[in-house]
Structure 1
Amino acid sequence: MMDSPVVRIGVVGTGFISSHFIMALDRQEGFKASRVLTRRPVDGCTGFPRPELLTNSLAELIENSDVVLECTGDAIHATDVVAAALSANLPVVTMNSEFHITAGSYFVGKGLVTEAEGDQPGCQAALKEEVLDMGFEPLVYGNIKGFLNQDPTLEDMTYWGNRSGISLPMVTSFTDGTKVQIEQAFVANGLGAEVAKPGLLGVPDDDLRTGGSALAEAAEKLGKPIADYVLSLKLPHGVFVVGKHDPRQKGALRYLKLGDGPYYVVLKHNIFVHLEILRTIKRVMNQGRILLDNSARPVASVCTVVKRDLKPGDKIASGIGSFDVRGEAVRIVDTAGHVPIGLLADAVIKRPLKRGDIIGMDDVELPDSLALRAWKDIERSVLSGQSGEAEKKSALAS
């Protein structure tokens, strides 16, 4: 632990995660929220639990922090915050899959940046550590999704957003599948896995053992672990790993209610979101270790798929949680030139697009940002690496 008796946590964002995390710190010793960065007028953040901590100054946040917690869900803003924090030699803990899948790889090796436990990707990373310690060979890193409607209505999303106490864009991104696509593409990159197909497999099954085994079979055919999900309204809110084990353990694992194999499902059936974040902050401050990042050489991205016909001049304020587009996990090398959905903000459509089209960089005007430049750097690196591998294979073959 640091010499300071209390670790100062600078929090970025004032939404559900930020406000409830700050409340949870009241029950923790040795940690305190020092500043909370918001882009909204400070006086307008009514109902925030610690209004005296609010600031619009990133410099003030950094000056008063030992570690930064970024939890806005905004890929572009988070990129700027992470860059500033790393320049000040501060570690960054995130609950922001959108940032990682868009620009996170740009920062690998430039400082300590990690996703936290509490959201599905961080929980899958922690579960991987557990199953490896127990001797399992992971084949599937799995998410459990309750409901999917790729083109929900504004009326339905407004109702469910108000009922759940979450924002309209957030509930929309959950419903149309964008969120699970982002999470599992991120997990594939960070845990050394693959996406089995564009848009993932998404096996519908109320029996996790059956659905998980179907995903494991797909992973075996692919020859690599995969990140994917099972779709069911009846299964618990959680994540899982499907793996194989030493055949000599078959009887013991049957006795432990894991079935006859050869695929075994290990389930984490509770996701506590903001209540788990501090565990990762302690990991960072005590051990200097990350839990999960997007890797320096990602394999997957989340492209932008058109939900309805778009015409030149149409404006899209934000792709994630939009009624115009949704996100779909893809392999970067198979979809060169696509626009990651995390970059689609304040965008203007340049040419006609049909429902189902994937938006490319030539199809849209995007404001300049560090996130955009970072993504272009990431894509160039991935594609040049792929080209280099192809050249090596060709040389060996000849």
Structure 2
Amino acid sequence: MRAGDIVLVPGADAVDWSQVDVLVEACGRVSHGYRYASSALENGAHVVMVSKEVDTVVGVELSARAAERGLSYLPGDGDQPANLLRLLDWVSAVGLDIVAVGKSGEYDLELDPATGTVTQAGVSVQAPELGDLLELGDDVRATLAARADAVSGLKRAAAADSCEMTVVASRIGMPADVEAMHYPVARIDELADVYAARADGGLVARDGVVDVFSALRLPGEASFAGGVFAVVRTGDRLTWDTLRGKGHVLSRDGRYACVYWPYHYMGVETPLTVHAAVDRAPARPARWTTLLAARATDELPAGTPFAVTGHHHEIAGVAPVMIAPDAAAAPYYLLDGARLRRPVAAGELIGLDDVEGADPGALDAYRAGVARTAHTNGVNR
């Protein structure tokens, strides 16, 4: 390391922490990621937490430990949580009223009008009816429902999306509008209409929520590229009409606007966070305001093992759901390597008492984080 070489070691026990300023934790596994991050903090190293799975379970405790030691604990730029938090810093500084914030799914839905084919991440389905649904029409929610039906053959929701939005929710205190999020199929220029309040024809039942949408585009149109957005109220009609004329995304009634960054350069931006960690840049701490829990999608017998698998780090038999803090419920990613102690019916939340074999270090850290914030009121959270 002193020679400037890249060093590959078998594990945290082989690390000389005196030579480490910042740990970029990116293993994606709660048990290992927690041990690496906690070791770094114990030895005076800052932590850039790229493993969003780890953050949803033990982020509250690690964030608090870092603060107690005068160290940084930050989500990594380049992934959507950190990018969205940066966008929200700007929106808050400007003083705009936030209605909804979020990101697009990792892969756009590309419609070829000539063939009626919709393609997402190399998977194609026939959806010719989408050709007649390219405009929102007068009933936004009805159009969105029809679009969702048209592409029901594609898997659009991913555990990674819920995981990332939980990381954001824990920093800003905004919940999901519905526990599985809305996932509307929407074009970029429609977002201010789609995420308007329900009273104004949109999806949102309350101000200040997080969500994910599936970006619909035609061949040759620019991608949202897994980017991030904030939908805000406009207020001053003259100013925003001027901005509409310059191509900014406003709702048709002029009451809402969408501010967005159509990119997330994974890994490319992370050095910015490394510098921010060393500089002790101000950061929003993690708080226990939203729990990424697990709801059974199947009848699960006692003894069912759980394992995180696949590109999107999902667990068979359970779906990730974003719920209000619940000390009895098990965090979704804490289930990795655990098994059921009792049968669980389809539709039930998996409880902490329902499982055994969860990583003991991560479980203790999760409970410690809960204890730090469970007694505070919603404002303080």
Assess, with a 3 A threshold, how the Cα gap between structure 1 residues 191 and 61 changes in structure 2: closer, same or farther: farther
The letter of the residue matching 2:246 is L
TM-score by length of 1: 0.70
SS at match of 2:328: coil
Match for 1:254: what amino acid? R
Q: C-alpha distance in 1, partners of 2:288/2:12?
A: 32
Match of 2:266 among 268, 273, 277: 273
Instruction: Please report how far the alpha carbon of residue 79 of structure 1 lies from its aligned counterpart in structure 2 after TM superposition.
Output: 1.5
Supply the distance in 2 between the matched residues of 1:243 and 1:206 (Cα, whole angstroms).
17
> Which amino acid counterpart does residue 314 of structure 1 have in structure 2?
T
Q: CA deviation at 1:215?
A: 2.6
Work out whether 1:378 is the aligned partner of 2:359. no
Displacement of 1:351 after TM fit? 1.1
Among 289, 302, 311, the residue aligned to 2:281:
289
Which residue of 42, 47, 61 corresponds with 1:106? Answer: 61
5+ residue gaps, structure 2, are 67-71, 109-121, 124-154, 218-222
Give the length in aligned residue pairs. Answer: 315
AA aligned to 2:208 is P
The reply to whether residue 207 of structure 1 matches residue 178 of structure 2 is no
Contact 1:146 1:232 in 2 (8 A): no
Q: Structure 1 residues 176 and 221 mapped into 2: Cα distance closer, same or farther (>3 Å)?
A: closer
Distance 1:326 1:58, change over 3 A: farther
Q: Is the 8 A contact 1:345 1:366 kept in 2?
A: no
- 1:199 match: secondary structure: coil
Could you tell me which residue of structure 2 aligns to residue 122 of structure 1? 82
**Is residue 298 from structure 1 mapped to residue 288 from structure 2 by the alignment?**
yes
1:118: Cα distance to partner?
0.7
8 Å contact 1:139–1:220 — kept in the other structure?
no
CA displacement 1:294-317 (0-9 Å, x = unmatched): x2x321011112232221122223
Residues 211 and 255 of structure 1, relative CA distance in 2, 3 Å threshold: closer
CA distance 1:384–1:345, change in 2 (3 Å): same
- The match for 2:128 is none
Shift of 1:124: 0.3
Residue 202 of structure 2 is aligned to residue 242 of structure 1: no
RMSD, matched Cα? 3.1
C-alpha displacement of 1:278? 0.7
Give the structure-2-normalised TM-score: 0.73
Task: Report percent identity of matched pairs.
Answer: 20
What residue identity is the alignment partner of 1:251?
D
Q: What SS does the corresponding residue of 1:102 show, helix, strand or coil?
A: helix
1:42-191 mapped onto 2 (5 Å cutoff): 52-111=7-66, 112-145=72-105, 176-191=157-172
Q: How far is 1:119 from its partner?
A: 0.8
Matched-pair contact (CA < 8 Å) for 2:100–2:207: no
Distance 1:91 1:375, change over 3 A: same
Q: Go from structure 1 to structure 2 and tell me whether the alpha carbon gap of 1:216 and 1:369 turns closer, same or farther (over 3 Å shift).
A: farther
Letter in 1 for 2:211: D
Q: Which runs of 5+ in 1 are unaligned?
A: 1-7, 10-31, 35-49, 149-158, 161-173, 390-398
Q: Match of 2:256? A: 263
Structure 1 pair 141–58 and aligned structure 2 pair: CA distance change class (3 A): farther
- 2:196 & 2:36 partners in 1: Cα distance? 38
Secondary structure in 1 matching 2:367: helix
> Pick from 153, 162, 179: which aligns with 1:198?
179
TM-superposed deviation, 1:70: 0.5
Code of the residue aligned with 2:271 in structure 1: it is: L
Counterparts of 2:244 and 2:378 in 1: how far apart (Å)? 46
Q: What is the DSSP-based 3-state SS (H/G/I as helix, E as strand, rest coil) of the residue aligned with 2:175?
A: coil
- Name the structure with the higher helix share: 1
Q: Report the Cα distance in structure 2 between the residues aligned to 1:367 and 1:382, rounded to whole angstroms.
A: 22
Matched, 1:314 2:292: no
CA distance in 2, matches of 1:387, 1:134: 24
Kindly indicate whether the alpha-carbon contact (under 8 Å) linking 2:195 and 2:204 is maintained by their aligned counterparts in 1. Answer: no
Deviation at 1:96, TM superposition (A): 1.6
